[in-house]
Amino acid sequence: MACAASIIFTTLSIASASIFTGLARFSLPVFFKVPLLSMFLRPFAAHFLKGSWTVTLPLYHAKLLFRAWFLSFSTFMIWETADDLFENVVAEVCHVLAHFTIFRGDLSL
């Protein structure tokens, strides 16, 4: 179950991050048309306006997408495995003291 969930979450996260990046890069020229916003964005985002077209970028960087997917998959898989182990093995009830009750801050045996 953890493996299937990790595959699904990994694929959805990489796909949504790629779509969000593409949409942000497509909308960037519109933001540069706004006078004051352009002045603040130019030092940080002007280099995104140059380069190849956004739709073809995944074709040129397939290795990077695969490495990002594998890194995300391994992170999700380790997280899900640790979560399953914690729920089933580590989180057990442990009785330290028997026959005591705490009621309104008073300890009565």
Q: What is the pLDDT of residues 20-73, one digit of tens each?
A: 888 888 888 888 888 888 888 888 887 777 766 666 777 788 898 899 999 999
**Residue 82 has what pLDDT?**
87
**Cα distances (angstroms) measured from residue 77 to each of 53, 63, 70:** 34, 21, 10
**Cα distances (angstroms) measured from residue 5 to each of 12, 18, 67, 82, 109:** 11, 20, 19, 14, 48
Instruction: Answer whether residue 104 shows pLDDT above 90.
Output: no
Could you list the residue range(s) of the whole structural domain that residue 66 is in?
A: 2-108
Q: Count structural domains, the chain.
A: 1
